Amino acid sequence: MTKPSQDWDPTAADVLSNQVAAYDEMRLRCPVAHSELLGWSLFRHEDVARVIADTETFSNVVSTHRSVPNGMDPPEHTAYRQAIEPYLGTEKVRNFEPECRVIATELLAPLASGVQIDFMDAFAVPFAVRCQCAFLGWPEALGAPVREWTRRNRDAVLTADRAMLAEIAREFETFIVGLLDERRRHAGDVAGDDLTTELMRVQVNGKPLTDAELTSIFRNWTVGEVGSMAAAVGILAGQIARAPELQRTLREVPALIPAAIEELLRVDGPLVSNRRRVTREVTLGGHRIAAGERVSLMWISANRDETVFEGPDSARIDRDQRPSLLWGAGVHVCPGAGLARLEMRVALEALLSTFDQIVPGDASPRRLAFPENGWASLPLRLG
């Protein structure tokens, strides 16, 4: 058996300074690489696709903490997934579009033309937080704690601080249970028919979801996804600011925006990795991996694999997106993709129609580090 060794350090300064380039290099040099933090990282498209298709060998139950539905395997996963999927479905997403557009317009309105702004602070982060709160029917004031949890959660993942992760999870649970109790007290009164009250009525196998299950769902949809959404919106804005021709094309033919979103995020993705636990010995990239070990699906790298995407670094909006793993694949494929696509399309449409020019600012942008990707700060000039 190959003894796990430290083939790379996902938190080394040279990796964090440019994650995308570092993963490209790993894919070529050591495509199945072990590290203390991530277990076996899979950088090739082929390996990631194999793992997500085989839920028996690669389990999503990676922690003692029960995560709904992403920390579950079929058949338990199937029941929960079917129960919650409609709440992220086409109709819910379509109904949310007007509110989403109001949020985008309100955030862009005060951005003075020609003045340098940090796009992450001024738009991407508040847009993601406000959209998620509005989608769930939460008051805007809850945006601040959600933002704070997202930040602390990221720091705890980076330092693998289990005690801190548990503490944040506990705080979030107290917060959500308070929110649920308030709705129960006011049921039929001020608690309207928003998504949160609808989810409280969901049944799985004939039983209502427990508070712990509801907390887990809300945690994934907020603390888990606000970061990916903000990162995605920032990555898109940063890319179009550096590509004036693409910007012109999208302004002239807004119908191309959805295809551009998929391709720009294939080149530089917002989500770095997800985990699986191996249930029986397997061989990956010539390494024998024992039952119980962890593997990490390196999404950004898989989507830049040159054996699948010719010229992976160049954004071609007419590229065939079928092999893209931006949203994952198989039973855990992202159920929030429709909502995420809507929010990104609305953000780009609003940005491109409000400003004739979106250009990089004078200050240097700063990249986000693992476990996130994208921009920590993105100076842009909108004019």
Restricted to residues 191-220, the positions that interact with ligand HEM (CB under 6 A) are 220
Restricted to residues 232-271, the positions that interact with ligand HEM (CB under 6 A) are 232, 270-271
Stretch that binds ligand HEM, among 14-22, 194-202, 325-333, 353-361 (CB under 6 A): 325-333
Residue 249 CB, nearest approach to ligand HEM (Å): 22
User: Token pair of 78, please?
Assistant: 């199937």
User: What is the full DSSP assignment across 3-57?
Assistant: PP-----TTSHHHHHTHHHHHHHHHHH-SEEEETTTEEEE-SHHHHHHHHH-TTT
CB nearer to ligand HEM: pick between 238 and 270: 270
Long-range contacts of 162-167 (CB under 8 A, 24+ apart): 166/65
CB nearer to ligand HEM: pick between 297 and 358: 297
Residue 78 CB, nearest approach to ligand HEM (Å): 9
Tell which one of 145, 254, 323, 328 touches ligand HEM (CB under 6 A): 328
User: Token pair of 154, please?
Assistant: 């990221």
Question: Residue 339: helix, strand or coil by DSSP?
Answer: helix
CA angle 82, 88, 94 (to 5 degrees): 135
Restricted to residues 23-62, the positions that interact with ligand HEM (CB under 6 A) are 52
CB nearer to ligand HEM: pick between 62 and 350: 62
**How do beta strands 282-284 and 58-59 pair?**
unpaired
In what order do the strands lie in the sheet containing 379-382? Answer: 116-118, 379-382, 358-360
Residue 330 CB, nearest approach to ligand HEM (Å): 7
Strand partners, 277: 59, 294
CB nearer to ligand HEM: pick between 123 and 327: 327
Task: Give the C-alpha separation, 292 to 289, whole Å.
Answer: 9
Residue 108 CB, nearest approach to ligand HEM (Å): 20
Site string for ligand HEM, 332-361 (x = CB under 6 A): x-xxx--xx---------------------
Stretch that binds ligand HEM, among 30-38, 197-205, 302-310, 322-330 (CB under 6 A): 322-330
CB nearer to ligand HEM: pick between 194 and 359: 194
Q: How many CA atoms lie within 13 A of 207 on its CB side?
A: 8
Restricted to residues 268-287, the positions that interact with ligand HEM (CB under 6 A) are 270-271, 274
Task: Give the C-alpha separation, 172 to 177, whole Å.
Answer: 9
Question: Residue 188: helix, strand or coil by DSSP?
Answer: coil
CB nearer to ligand HEM: pick between 309 and 327: 327
Site residues, ligand HEM (CB under 6 A): 52, 69-70, 81, 88, 220-221, 225, 228-229, 232, 270-271, 274, 299, 326-328, 332, 334-336, 339-340
